[in-house]
């Protein structure tokens, strides 16, 4: 291996080690803080990309385990509570209905606009033909 390749490999290894240390530190702080945990929150706290954590064979399982532990031991009791699930389900249903209504309105509006455009194109064609006949 030539010296420049060795230098690049060394720099990459050191950068990876710094990133791993930062993620481990962020995990320790998240355990102490008892705050909700996600790959995104840990990556942000560590100053690394989420892709780095998702691709890391050791860190990703640690983050996911902590996230699951937080979800299972949610002190508010909101997660998994039947009323909370019913409310979320109702909200999803209501938003889905609103989305369907909006999509239907937009489709109708697009149909009206296309009809108006086709009419305008027809009128333009007729005017061009009249102009051509006069010349």
Containing H/E element for 40? helix 39-46
Q: So what's the pLDDT on residue 91? A: 80
Cβ–Cβ under 8 Å, residues 45 and 26 = yes
Residue 80: partners with Cβ closer than 8 Å, 6 or more residues away: 74
Q: So what's the pLDDT on residue 59? A: 92
Cα 18 versus chain centre, distance: 27
The overall longest dimension of the chain from CA atoms, in Å, is 87
Cβ–Cβ under 8 Å, residues 52 and 19 = yes
- For residue range 109-121, what is the model confidence (pLDDT) as tens digits? 999 999 999 999 9
Per-10-residue mean pLDDT of the chain, 135 residues long, equals 88 94 93 87 94 92 89 59 69 88 96 96 95 89
């Amino acid at each position: 291996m030539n010296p420049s390749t060795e230098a690049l490999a060394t720099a990459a290894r050191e950068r990876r080690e710094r990133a791993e240390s930062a993620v481990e530190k962020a995990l320790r702080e998240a355990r102490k803080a008892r705050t909700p945990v996600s790959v995104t929150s840990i990556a942000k706290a560590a100053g690394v990309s989420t892709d780095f954590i998702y691709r890391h064979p050791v860190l990703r399982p640690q983050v996911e385990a902590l996230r699951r532990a937080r979800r299972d031991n949610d002190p508010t009791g909101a997660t998994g509570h039947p009323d909370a699930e019913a409310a979320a389900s109702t909200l999803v249903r209501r938003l889905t209905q609103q989305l369907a209504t909006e999509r239907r309105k937009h489709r109708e509006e697009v149909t009206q606009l296309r009809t108006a455009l086709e009419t305008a194109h027809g009128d333009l064609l007729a005017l061009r033909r009249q102009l051509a006949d006069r010349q």
